[in-house]
Structure 1
Amino acid sequence: MRFSRRTLLRGALATTVASALPQFSFAAQSLELGNARIDTLSDGNLVLPLSFVSDDPKAAPILKDYGITGPEVEPPCNLTLYRDGTNTVLFDVGAGPDFMPSAGKLQAALDALEISRDDVTHVVFTHGHPDHLWGVLDDFDEAIFANAQHLMGKTEFDYWINPETVNKIDAGRTTFAAGALRRLQTLEDQFTTFGDGEEILPGIASRMTPGHTPGHMSFEIRNGSTSAMVTGDAIVNHFLAFAAPGMMAGSDQDPDLGAKTRVALLDQIASEMMPIIGFHLPEGGLGHVERVGDAYRYVPEV
């Protein structure tokens, strides 16, 4: 397998494709996996209160070690594009224009790779949070990826399309539920659901990784003798999630379950020495996991 790193959409290309964002550069990483290719695409970044990471007092020294001392964090958003010569698969679709002004930049990243929306054959969702789902519709409430089959785990799909979820979810996430409900109802006929452990496409197997959301899925991509794990938000940052994986995360809807899921997932990835592709990990989100005593370290591929 071979890694490469490039910076896309600079200079003249940045002016033509993303003239409204002259300071924004779309960094991508790529990985050759057997005879297939994986690229990570930047959708921009989020701006979140530090409490969304953790409010555990034990987190403070770890955050300080990583230079995180302010009231906010700005996690990057990395989407994954997989091409095997037959299928062009996009994992998550980003935030679109309605969530945060710093996110929703996927179209420019696709343009930089000369990938059109019509080229995408499948859109696979890790979960239903805004930065992963809300970019699925255009301004006319039609599918952005009109030619693509849309796939989401059944537990996750059923949770967000249930009209009662907006009344049961905690108050800080009611807009998440309302936004997911509208989008899933609009495109319900275009969605296919699946369960844990299914091969949803050749070489792509689902892995239930709940806690961040009730039906969050990760995906093991295997081509030939090599594999990589798309973790979505099961591993949501490169600091606390690795240095203290058992610590509860403020962004998880079920923090206790999320911690248990994270510990098990990191153990597998490190033991099998497979590349990890994380939605909110730095430097394009593609790297590997090293054990450090009872904890772990994220090492980006650059």
Structure 2
Amino acid sequence: MQITRRRLMTGAVALGAMGALPRLGFSATTITLGETTIDTLSDGHLVLPTEFVSPNPGAIEMLAKFGITTPQVEAPCNVTLLRDGTNTVLFDVGAGPDFMPTAGKLSAALDALGVTPEDITHVVFTHAHPDHLWGVLDEFDEPIFANAQHMMGRAERDFWLSPEAATQMPHGREVFAAGALRRLSVLEDRLATFEDSEEILPGIGARASTGHTPGHMAFEIRSGNTAVMLTGDAIGNGHLAFAVPDWISGSDQDGETGISTRLGLLAELSASGLPMIGYHLPEGGIGRVERAGDAYRFVAEI
């Protein structure tokens, strides 16, 4: 398995080892698994209040250990693109223009890579939060990836299409439900669903990882003897999720279930050495989990 990092500029591709990337670039980290190429593309980043990362009273002090001393945290957004010679698959589609001005940059990243929306054969969602789903429609409410089969876990789809979804949102996040309902209603005739442990496409297995949302899915991507785990938001950031994984995450809809899911994934990934891709993790989100005493750390592979 080979992992490389690139900076993509609109109209050009710069190859080589990169340090801190300028804001005008679109970073990409690439894994090669046999004949399969996996790129993580930047959709930009979110700006989140500290309590959204964790409501724990010790969160500010703990974040300071990672050099985060502001009342807000920047969370990178890594959209995953898989190409195996037959299928061209997007895992999540970013935020689009309607969520945060710092996100919604996926189209520029795809352009820089030379991939058009028409090239995408499948769109697979980990879950239906705005930064993963809202980039699926254009300004006329038409699907951007018009040739693609869209896919989502059945439980996740059913939750966001239910009339109770808005009432189950934490205060201030009711718009999440309205936005998901609008987009999933447009996609309904092209949205296939799947279950836990199902092989949704050759070499791509779904894995229930609930807590962040009621039907959140992770995916194990395998080619020959090599594999990588795409965890979505089940492991939600590169600092507290590893250092204090038993703390409630402010972004999880069911905090206790989220803890259980996170602890299970971290233990498995650290024991197996299997590389992972995290949607909100640094350096393109690709790396490995290592034990660090009673906790863990994320080691980016660049």
Give the equivalent residue in structure 1 for 2:139: 139
* 1:4 paired to 2:4: yes
Structure 1 window deviating more from structure 2 (164-173 vs 63-72): it is 164-173
* CA positional deviation for 1:13: 7.5
Q: Are the equivalent residues in 1 in contact too, given 2:7–2:13 (CA < 8 A)?
A: no
Equivalent residues in 2 for 1:97-116, closer than 5 Å: 97-116=97-116
In 1, distance between residues paired with 2:32 and 2:74?
29
Residues 282, 23 of structure 1: CA spacing in aligned structure 2 closer, same or farther, 3 A cutoff? closer
Q: RMSD of aligned C-alpha atoms?
A: 1.5
Give the equivalent residue in structure 2 for 1:56: 56
Equivalent residues in 2 for 1:89-104, closer than 5 Å: 89-104=89-104
Give the equivalent residue in structure 1 for 2:252: 252
User: What is the TM-score normalised by the length of structure 1?
Assistant: 0.95
* 1:177 paired to 2:177: yes
In 2, distance between residues paired with 1:146 and 1:192?
14
In 2, distance between residues paired with 1:246 and 1:23?
33
* CA positional deviation for 1:11: 8.6
Q: Which amino acid aligns with 1:153?
A: G
In 2, distance between residues paired with 1:114 and 1:301?
24
Q: Which amino acid aligns with 2:208?
A: M
SS in 2 for 1:3: strand
Q: Which amino acid aligns with 1:122?
A: H
SS in 2 for 1:172: coil
SS in 1 for 2:291: strand
SS in 2 for 1:176: helix
In 2, distance between residues paired with 1:170 and 1:63?
23
What percentage of aligned pairs have identical amino acids? 62
* 1:278 paired to 2:278: yes
Structure 1 window deviating more from structure 2 (22-31 vs 188-197): it is 22-31
In 2, distance between residues paired with 1:12 and 1:165?
43
Give the equivalent residue in structure 1 for 2:161: 161
Q: Are the equivalent residues in 2 in contact too, given 1:211–1:257 (CA < 8 A)?
A: yes
Residues 276, 32 of structure 1: CA spacing in aligned structure 2 closer, same or farther, 3 A cutoff? same
SS in 1 for 2:246: coil
Equivalent residues in 2 for 1:78-97, closer than 5 Å: 78-97=78-97
SS in 1 for 2:283: coil
* 1:117 paired to 2:117: yes
Give the equivalent residue in structure 1 for 2:65: 65
Q: How many residues align?
A: 295
SS in 2 for 1:47: strand
In 1, distance between residues paired with 2:26 and 2:110?
10
Q: Are the equivalent residues in 2 in contact too, given 1:287–1:299 (CA < 8 A)?
A: yes
Give the equivalent residue in structure 2 for 1:17: none
Q: Are the equivalent residues in 2 in contact too, given 1:46–1:103 (CA < 8 A)?
A: yes
Give the equivalent residue in structure 2 for 1:200: 200
* CA positional deviation for 1:60: 3.4
Structure 1 window deviating more from structure 2 (101-110 vs 164-173): it is 164-173
Give the equivalent residue in structure 1 for 2:218: 218
Structure 1 window deviating more from structure 2 (168-177 vs 131-140): it is 168-177
Q: Which runs of 5+ in 2 are unaligned?
A: 15-21
Q: Which amino acid aligns with 1:39?
A: D
In 2, distance between residues paired with 1:269 and 1:222?
15
In 2, distance between residues paired with 1:62 and 1:208?
29
In 2, distance between residues paired with 1:228 and 1:202?
14
Question: Over residues 100-139 of structure 1, what are the superposed CA-to-partner deviations in whole Å (9 max), with x where a residue is unaligned?
Answer: 1100000010011100111110000000000000001011
Residues 194, 239 of structure 1: CA spacing in aligned structure 2 closer, same or farther, 3 A cutoff? same
* CA positional deviation for 1:23: 4.6
SS in 2 for 1:52: helix
In 2, distance between residues paired with 1:241 and 1:226?
26
Q: Which amino acid aligns with 2:257?
A: L
SS in 2 for 1:284: helix
User: What is the TM-score normalised by the length of structure 2?
Assistant: 0.95
Question: Over residues 245-272 of structure 1, what are the superposed CA-to-partner deviations in whole Å (9 max), with x where a residue is unaligned?
Answer: 1111111111111011000011111111
Q: Which amino acid aligns with 1:118?
A: E
In 1, distance between residues paired with 2:62 and 2:173?
27
Q: Are the equivalent residues in 2 in contact too, given 1:163–1:181 (CA < 8 A)?
A: no
Q: Which amino acid aligns with 2:151?
A: L
* CA positional deviation for 1:69: 1.5
Residues 162, 294 of structure 1: CA spacing in aligned structure 2 closer, same or farther, 3 A cutoff? same
Question: Over residues 193-217 of structure 1, what are the superposed CA-to-partner deviations in whole Å (9 max), with x where a residue is unaligned?
Answer: 0110000000000010001101100
